[in-house]
Amino acid sequence: MAERIAYDEFSFFHENAAEHGLPYAGPPEVSRERVEVEPGRALSALRWGSGDPELVLLHGGAQNAHTWDTVALALDRPLIAIDLPGHGHSDGPGDRPSGQLSAAGNAEDVATVVRQLAPEARGVVGMSLGGLTSIALTEVAPSLVRRLVLVDITPGVTAERANHITSFVHGPPSFPSFEDLLARTMEFNPTRSESSLRRGILHNALQQEDGTWVWRHARERAGPWEGGVPDLGPLWETISRITVPVMLCRGMRADSVIGDDDEQELRRRLPDVRVERFDQAGHSIQGDMPVELVAAIQAFVP
């Protein structure tokens, strides 16, 4: 029987701070909340701080709310980071035909959580699938989105551009040991530190009774974009109807999923959009350049 690995989700914040040179006076005030979105089904969220949340953070597909830990530490503002349906500690998407991939369905669930936990939030920050969800949220519950930050995502994402992500996500259904899971994660994330990847795995995977490991998001389906990228065309039309300020944060490395054509189309539909480029970041800007991302968010959502 493999050795059981202890996990305390609130025990790693000092590592996040140290890795990025952030001041650390002790454990931040963070709690886990659970909000029922329909009978028998609930979403989970991390609440940072004790004041009224000023920001809502939505992670990408196959991630979870802890992907924002370094960003939340650097922001030092009250906020909530939500586990999307079927991710992290949240229940699955229920009977929605497109499951975890339904931006509109996710937005319906997220709206319920935001109404309860952060109804006066000044901005919504969404990365990848969380960004698509936040676009849908502007139509599902427009009063809840006062400013929108899209982190390396537009509705122009294609299966080809996302191939490096789906290749990783659609790997083995389980892993014999933590070290096997770490080795695969390091192979697909060569620019990230081993310590950050270890933290990420502990937040995003589960050790089963027999000692093997599975991804938390794999409880509901194999991962985002299984069988191809869904039709995101309607979300371009949603973007055309957005009236609140929007900022696109674009990773400029080859592992971004955004092309120049996506940025141009976004500018065509939203002439006043603000675009910030992150030269040393790929798709996961919150992991590659979290402090710089925070600076952009602070300037955009005062």
Beta bridge partners of 44: 34
**Eight-state DSSP code of residue 175:** B
Strand pairing class (55-58; 123-127): parallel
- Give the start-end residues of each E strand in 4-138: 30-38, 41-48, 55-58, 79-82, 123-127
Q: How far apart are CA 156 and CA 170, in angstroms?
A: 21
Q: How far is CA 149 from the centre of its chain?
A: 12
What secondary structure does DSSP assign to 52-71, as a single string? ---EEEE--TT--GGGGHHH
Rounded CA gap, 30 and 237, in Å? Answer: 37
- Residues β-bridged to residue 81: 46, 57
Of 152, 255, 262, 288, catalytic: 152
Name the residue type at position 139. E
Question: Is position 14 annotated as part of the catalytic site?
Answer: no
**Catalytic status, residue 66:** no
Please indicate whether residue 50 is annotated as part of the active site.
Answer: no
Cα distances (Å, whole numbers) of residue 118 to 33, 44, 48: 12, 13, 11
Which one is catalytic: 44, 90, 128, 284? 128
Considering 83, 262, 283, 288, which one is annotated as catalytic?
Answer: 283
Q: Which residues are catalytic?
A: 128, 152, 283
